Structure 1
Amino acid sequence: MAGTTSTTPPGPGTYDGNGLHDDGYDDAASARWAPEPDKRPGRTAFQRDRARVLHSSALRRLAGKTQVVTPGTRNQAWDASPRTRLTHSLECAQVGRELGAALGCDPDLVEAACLAHDMGHPPFGHNGEQALNTFAKDCGGFEGNAQSLRLLTRIEPKRFVPTDGGGVVSVGLNLTRATLDAATKYPWPRGGHPTDPASVKFGVYEDDLPVFEWVRERAPDHRKCFEAQVMDWADDVAYSVHDFEDGLHAGHLDPGLLLAEPERSDIWQVAIGRYVPSDTDPEELAEALDRLLEQEWWPHHYDGSAVAQARLKDATSQLIGRFALAAEGATRQAYGTGRLTRYAAELVVPREARNECAVLKAVADRYVMQRAEQETLRADQRIVLAELAEALTARAPDTLDPQFRALFAAAGDDRARARVVVDQLASLTDATARSLHAQLTARR
């Protein structure tokens, strides 16, 4: 790992291999890349991690980044108040903390990972991620999860260490090995997917392999740690349920459409291959949706009234509890009642629960993300990011923020300089991306 592309900090702390403590974690799990004393004895290493993530500027910036419905949009009938990346991360953290604690994980560790898991995502949601991946094709591509690791270990200003040349270099938040591992949803580099080398999902850029290898020391290849699996399921649960809720709030979804054809077939078509395996029988998804529709708490109607809002809020609570308890029960049935941490277990999520979750994702995809006006908006967002990337590159380093200006000056080649521009772009909120674009291109 390096704070700039051309400088490497001192080696990591020692992996001493001590046995597990009473909390289910060994000394290696709480080690930091750059060893440092605790300022407040009695506070755990994972409590420190949670605090560092919670107080980071990168987490605050998620308040201005799109989740599904663009921040600032409003339905004429009522205020939609859509979720942002920040509110999603907070909700993911609540689900993950409670599920992790129920299974024996350190709750602060899981919460820190859930809070951090989306911190590297760029403006304009997954649409922005695709646009940056196109721009970054010659410097290693772009992936929001890989950017999160880069941000946590390199970009976010918190800890600096001396270099051999007499300067200092950033080690990011300098989180523990276990927390960084728990925040790693895809533990492989680009092209390293264990079953699909063409997959666009990966968790580390080539520049960041040294710290990634330290994080993954002695970990089974390609296997997510147990806490990362809890984080991943909490992420799925939070966004599937809350994207469905946001769709209803914003008036984009009529619950009655879920009862009839051809709408139901459209939902299966969206789900299969994207949210469930391509060989899934549509009848399985029909059964999953019908199980939800049969629940007493299911919101069959929604008019925005206070009573309807309360009923919908109860439904979201019921859904989250349903999905979390399904995973907890199945995992406990498989592994018993002891502490489950790191690589001692796999999270077991019943197929029925995964299908129900996938159906909710597909419903939000079909009725919110696939709206015609959304595609028009996404096309404009891609233009904004492409033109902004070109303008920043042409006029760098003067157009970069001071932090990235220094990194650009220290970069050793065009590839490294392009990565710094990507880092700057990824740090922007939706609003600041548009504002900077207007400033640099004179587009109003």
Structure 2
Amino acid sequence: MNGLRQDFRYGLRMLRKSPGFTALAVITLALGIGANTSIFSNVNALVLRPFAFPDLDRVVAVWETVPKQDAASIKAAPANFLDWTEQSTSFEHLAATHGWDANLTGEGLAERVEGYQVTADFFALAGIPPQLGRQIGGVDFQHGTAPVVALSHGFWQRHLGGDPSIVGKSLLLNGQKFTVIGVAAPDLDFPAGAELWTPLDLSSAATMDRANHYLLVLGRLKKTTSVAQAQADLQAIAGRLGQQYPNTNGGHEVRVARLAEDAVSGTRQFVLVLMGAAVFVLLLACVNVANLQLARVSSRQKEMAVRLGLGASRWQLIRQLLIESILLAVAGGAAGLLLSNWGMGVSLRSLPPFIVAHVPGLKHLQLDSRVLFFTLAVALLTGSFPDCTRFGSADRSRAYGEGLPQSADRRNGI
């Protein structure tokens, strides 16, 4: 342990003795690590996990399609959605939402809020417990039930000051009194920008409506069901409906896609280019640091020869070089972390609030520590490899002979 502490102290002294090399290596690592951490944190938040639903890979979007009209993503008609719900065997939950903007008035309030009507299974599908109270469920769709509303966490904070006793109070929406039954958790942000949710009552009239397509449909697959199986299940139902109702459903099919993939389908190519650029920046940084390390290793040939001549083992030399690489990587990682945090903060503050609220995952963007540690490990391995290969395979006597020709002669002459 004492030897390890000595190696760390010696490594710090050696890095301080080469301020130019140290500064250049740390800056290079900081740029590579910072850029990669920022880019892949964005990819994780906006592409891989834009929504905080548990088991997100089982949550799918369901669209009607009309191939003959090149219509690949049509919202569902109410009657079709109800038939899917009754006849499908692939889902734990199937839910629908519909935009419902409302005028909020009363007690000095007068503004338009972004609301959504949801069916009974919406919150069960989301799988995120509420912050306060309860969520909309089957009890709220019973005949004669008073209007209720569930609030988003952001709306509760911004408009109601985070009132902990808000449950049970009333809000006036479009001139009608709604009782607040709960406040959603901060992670629940669907559809993006939603400020409140109310029950979507698909009454008897809706059971006959196959012409108006306005429902955004989500499903949570059963654990044993694949996307392809769900697609085949709903496609069979769509085929039967097409035969039963040729005027409204003839030629209609169904498309099932994972929600996370469907949300970014239009930007996938851009994301791939961005990820490629991030990998290129990291590789460039690693190559530059490796070249710097090689040059430094060559300049320290005599020093290493002296240490070998004094009885140091190859492992001790390699350990010393590894410790110096670790110190550089930690310094570069710390600087990269600061750079990444600063860059993401500036990016978010520079975007209009509307964009932040309505791009899935953007408002919850944060540093991904997994990416930071991965890029740090890559940089460390790349920086250490030249050192280890150079001195790990060097012949001890040759290194000593090349490094100390004069000292050896002088010692032989004494």
| Structure ID, larger Rg | 2
Is the pair's TM-score, using the shorter chain for normalization, greater than 0.5? no
Question: TM-score when scaled to structure 1?
Answer: 0.22
Greater relative CO, 1 or 2 (CA 8 Å, sep 6+): 2
TM-score normalised by L of structure 2:
0.23
